[in-house]
Amino acid sequence: MTIVRLGGDHELALCADADGVRQTVEVGLLDDPTEGAAVLVHAGVAIAALDQHGASR
């Protein structure tokens, strides 16, 4: 999913999947969540931000 909008406390974020379906996701486990970042969401919680550099290797 992609972070569309971050909540003020950076604990919750509105995220969208590839089809545009939006869902509120807990992002408190990420180091530095940013809008536009691709994240791996499991059971309503973002457990990792995807790394474009890692993907290209």
Partner 1 sequence: MRFVDEFRDAALGRAVAAEILSLLEPERRYKVMEVCGGHTHSIYKYGVDDLLPANVELVHGPGCPVCVIPMGRVDDGIVVAREEGVIFTCFGDMMRVPGSEGSLLEAKAAGADVRMVYSPLDALRIARQNPDREVVFFAIGFETTAPSTALTLKRAKAENVTNFSCMCSHVTIVPPLRALLESPDLRLDGFIGPGHVATVVGARPFEFIPADYGKPVVVAGFEPLDILQSIAMILQQLEDGRCEVENQYKRVVPYEGNLRALEVMGEVFELRPHFEWRGLGFISQSGLKLGEAYAEFDAELRFRVPGVRVADPKACQCGEVLKGVIKPWECKVFGTACTPERPIGTCMVSSEGACAAYYNFGRFAREREVV
Binding site for partner 1 (CB under 8 A): 18, 26, 28-31, 38, 40, 42-45, 47-48, 50-55, 57
* Distance in angstroms (rounded) separating the CA atoms of residues 25 and 49: 13
CB of 53 to partner 1, least distance (A): 8
Count the neighbouring beta carbons within 10 Å of the beta carbon of residue 26.
16
Nearer to partner 1, 29 or 35 (CB): 29
Q: Which two tokens stand for residue 52?
A: 């474009």
Is 52 in a helix, a strand, or coil?
helix
User: Closest approach of Cβ 31 to partner 1, in Å?
Assistant: 7
